[in-house]
Structure 1
Amino acid sequence: MKEENAENGAKGESAGKHGGNKGERRTLRGPLLLRSTGDQESTYDQRLLELRADHDWMHADPWRILRIQSEFVSGFDALADLPPAVSVFGSARVAKDHPYYSLGMELGGALAKARYAVVTGGGPGLMEAPNRGAQEAGGLSVGLGIELPHEQHLNEWVDVGLNFRYFFVRKVMFLKYSQGFVCLPGGLGTLDELFEVLCMVQTGKMSNYPIVLMGTEYWGGLIEWIRHRLVEEKMIAPDDAHLFLVTDSVSEAVEHIRRVHGEVAGVPPEAGARRGDGK
């Protein structure tokens, strides 16, 4: 089975480089790269959460625990030596000629020059842009991908790449191995990550963790709702509405992150981020 999976992965990569047969494409199934002709019926995450019984022993809960454990072990092992890093989130649907893409590249480059590694979801759009900006600036570019029903692959600007079956394992890696969070314009996935981080900081699970939203116009309506509706109806404390910085300036965003880290002993903003060498 392992040899078959490896062979399929090699074929998929070859098809990606040379075009393959018409209608075929490369698909990531967890850590495997396969050649396929359509969307997969379900993902590991979906099978974990579905209500109907799953009698396939490969997806029974006792076996699933081992698979989940292996994902944590692989992630911890691969990222253990990651230098100070900032996670950047944003939409996968933004084209390369969009101003948001240029903003993402500028942000990635500025973070790299400030000696931070840049960690994204590894996909296209506003995940690719910060990876590209960081790599072109000589910094370390990291991509943490996720298995999806439709086509998904790590972008070409990733220096260190991992692909996960389970969203919750991937989220742990984002939070454990980064010292800051920047949110570019995005959709539901981006909002999911944003509110996860806000909740972790609000409840004291994470401290001295700077959060930045890039784009005052894009995020304006959401910020208005948070700072007025939630505060006025006493759903959150007034201070909770100021857990993040909203800005259009890349330099202000990076300086905010550096300033927060400069106030924390043992997390020097000048810590060196180097290109990954697998050590």
Structure 2
Amino acid sequence: MTSELNPNKRRQGPAMLRGRSVPQTTTDQRLLDDRGPSDWVHADPWRVLRIQAEFVEGFGLLAEIPEAVSVFGSARTKPGSEEYELAVEIGAKLHDAGYAVITGGGPGIMEAANKGCDDNGGLSVGLGIELPFEQKLNDYIDIGLDFRYFFVRKTMFVKYSQAFIVLPGGFGTLDELFEAITLVQTRKITRFPIVLVGTAFWAGLLDWVKDQMLSSGKISPQDLDLFHLTDDPDEAVRVIVDAHEHQREQLKRERAAQEAAAEQAGDGS
């Protein structure tokens, strides 16, 4: 990811820093790179408070948003391109299906999905991140929050999304995709839809997953069912809607069975 914006200006959490006030490293770098034998005794307890504050702020801001879908993809995608317009369409269709849209809040695919939702009257959310270069939240966000720590931001994506749609992107997009798949595979989160949009872009990666990971026993055949591949924005949204309807019906059946079991136990006593 690159930026043509001013390198002497940076968002750092809720703060804006310019000129000599811009630190040479990010908050994440200072947390992860410190190797001094006793520095953690003095610095890390204070960092814990800052981390806690980010969690509290995120939970407080997002607690009451409606059902939402996170849309991931490249920040380098240019406005007017086919992929950009596809993300705009997906953002609009997600709103039509009753979902808010959550993105990383930046340009490219993120901006496009926010734009499609916002222009269509939906709730558009952006979760930004402090970077070594300036990357402001895009102009199509109704609720926006800048984070210092990637892991706090990732928690917000997972906690407040009911599905992920992943368009073509770079390393950051792959990180978000595989973290989501891992969490679903290991049942750390309730299984929910993960939709890859762009068959030509994802084909090579999926072939490698099958030819290398699956064939060598690193994953199970059913793991390939953890995501759905399509080029059609209508299909991408329909997969999510159908999955959630199925989940709701399954939940109703489970509750009915529990109530019946409780009633039977009461009659037996």
- What TM bracket, shorter-length normalisation? 0.7 to 0.9
Structure 2 counterpart of 1:168, from 151, 159, 171? 151
1:257 and 2:240 correspond:
yes
Q: Residue 10 of structure 2 contacts residue 132 of structure 2 at CA under 8 Å; is this kept in 1?
A: no
Instruction: Provide the secondary structure at the position in 2 that maps to 1:230.
Output: helix
**1:223-256 per-position Cα deviation (integer Å, ceiling 9, x unaligned):** 1111232111000000001210000000000000
1:75-154 equivalences in 2 (<5 Å): 75-154=58-137
> Do 2:167 and 2:197's aligned partners in 1 also have CA atoms closer than 8 Å?
yes
Question: Please, which runs of 5 or more residues in structure 2 have no aligned partner?
Answer: 1-5, 252-269
- Deviation of 1:38 after TM superposition, in Å, equals 9.3
Partner Cα distance (1:184, 1:91) in 2: 8
- The 1-side partners of 2:196 and 2:218 are apart by 21
Partner secondary structure for residue 92 of structure 1 = coil
Deviation digits for residues 46-87 of structure 1 (CA, Å, limit 9, x no counterpart): 000004339889x80010000000000000000000100000
Larger radius of gyration: 2
Q: 1:37 to 1:113 in 2, by over 3 A?
A: farther
Partner in structure 2 of residue 229 of structure 1:
212
Change (3 A) 1:95 1:233: same
Q: Measure, in 2, the Cα distance between the counterparts of 1:207 and 1:91.
A: 26
Shift of the alpha carbon at 1:151? Answer: 1.2
**Deviation at residue 25 of structure 1 after TM alignment:** 6.2
2:202 to 219, 223, 236: 219
Q: State the AA in 1 paired with 2:72.
A: F
1:182 aligns with 2:165: yes
CA distance in structure 1 between the aligned counterparts of 2:82 and 2:47, rounded to whole angstroms: 42
CA offsets per residue over residues 133-166 of structure 1, 9 Å max, x none?
Answer: 0000110000000000111110010110000000
Deviations 1:181-202 (A, max 9, x none): 0001000000000000000000
Of Structure 1 and Structure 2, the greater helix share is in 2
Give me the CA root mean square deviation: 2.3
* Residue 14 of structure 1: aligned partner: none
Percent identical across equivalent pairs? 54
Q: Where do 5+ consecutive residues of structure 1 fail to align?
A: 1-22, 269-279
User: TM-score, with normalisation over the residues of structure 2?
Assistant: 0.86
Q: Count how many residue pairs are aligned between Structure 1 and Structure 2.
A: 246
Q: Please report the TM-score for the alignment, with normalisation by the length of structure 1.
A: 0.83
